[in-house]
Amino acid sequence: MRRRQFIASVGGAAATWPLAVSAQPPAIPVIGYLSSASDESRVEAFRRGLAETGFAENRTVAIEYRFADGHYDRLPSLAADLVRRPVSVLATSGITATRAAKAATATIPIVFNTGGDPVELGLVASLARPGGNLTGVATLGKVLVAKQMELLHELVPGAASLAFLVNPSNAVAQAETSDAQAVARARGLALLVVEARSERELEPAFAAVRRQGAGALLMQADPFLSGARDALVALAARYGVATVSPFLEFARGGGLLSYGSSVTDALRLVGTYSGRILKAEKPADLPVQQAVKVELVVNLATAKALGLTIPTAVVLRADEVVE
């Protein structure tokens, strides 16, 4: 009797197992976010883009973050870690992170944000029809450098030489340095190239600029340099160097000039594309978007502290003026 009751109870429980399993919520997709440096404003912009396609972190999508914290040599292992996870989509910020992701997988969709021409960089077959497993958002490159030099020349017209701050760990550092040198030669200017791959190398770079008499400094559009904004603002003030950055947050945070595209807006678009891919669109069919809108931010207080007068024409052209 007891044996029959036991068998009946086991049979009844077994009958409920499929119902219990089917009642479990489905696993949510996972996105891998890979960047050379951590920047909460960019991550938040990425989340906003996902939200525009109906995805909310920790509710309908999970995000695995991997930041190299300026150590670019870590990016290949971080990318490989995300691929092993595995993730449904890889979102990348910066060319070095994008190349690491591309080397790690030929099948997982990759949505990138990078400067320059993605075709020339070997990321996609064409902007309209990327092909393969990559698509994303591209910002302007050498065009910005030419305009930044023009702005610095208007502020420091007597300068015979300028300095270019570059992160040698960046995958396109050599190419962008060559572009900057070509632009300087066309303007009849000498270009002093200074390097920094970590915060401890920033001060020696500014000291070299001052020691060698460069009239002003422009910097590479590099994720590490973007994240080092506060240190760069402080050093530019301490050494009295007129400086222009491609990152808008630089002038807003106390730097002299910023001229470039909104990286936060680009990361929002990366989030939007990532959400669309989660909804079964293919990266090969999503054209690379180009962030062609640029903004000029002028900080008049910093100009005054440096003893510079911003020409009225430059102020009138500015999209934003910080008093």
Q: What is the tens place of the pLDDT at every residue in 2-20?
A: 444 433 444 444 444 444 4
- Neighbouring C-beta atoms of residue 302, cutoff 10 Å: 22
Identify whether 3 is part of a domain: no
Tell me what the mean pLDDT of segment 203-218 comes to.
Answer: 96
Distance (Å, rounded) from C-alpha 278 to C-alpha 61?
9
Distance (Å, rounded) from C-alpha 20 to C-alpha 12?
13
Burial 206-215 (b: 16+ CB within 10 A, else e): bebbeeeebb
Q: What pLDDT is attached to residue 15?
A: 41
pTM for this entry: 0.84
SS3 of 247, please? coil
Same domain, 107 and 222: no
Distance (Å, rounded) from C-alpha 171 to C-alpha 99?
8
Q: What pLDDT is attached to residue 17?
A: 40
Identify whether 22 is part of a domain: no
Residue 21 has pLDDT above 80, yes or no: no
Same domain, 197 and 169: yes
Q: What is the mean pLDDT of the chain?
A: 90
Identify whether 165 is part of a domain: yes
Same domain, 53 and 98: yes
- Neighbouring C-beta atoms of residue 276, cutoff 10 Å: 21
Identify whether 234 is part of a domain: yes
Tell me what the mean pLDDT of segment 226-235 comes to.
Answer: 94
Domain of residue 35 covers 30-139+263-291
Indicate the number of domains in the chain. Answer: 2
Distance (Å, rounded) from C-alpha 52 to C-alpha 275?
8
CATH number, domain with residue 241: 3.40.50.2300
Give the whole-number percent of the chain exceeding pLDDT 70. Answer: 91
Helix axis angle for 202-211 and 229-239, nearest 10°, is 30
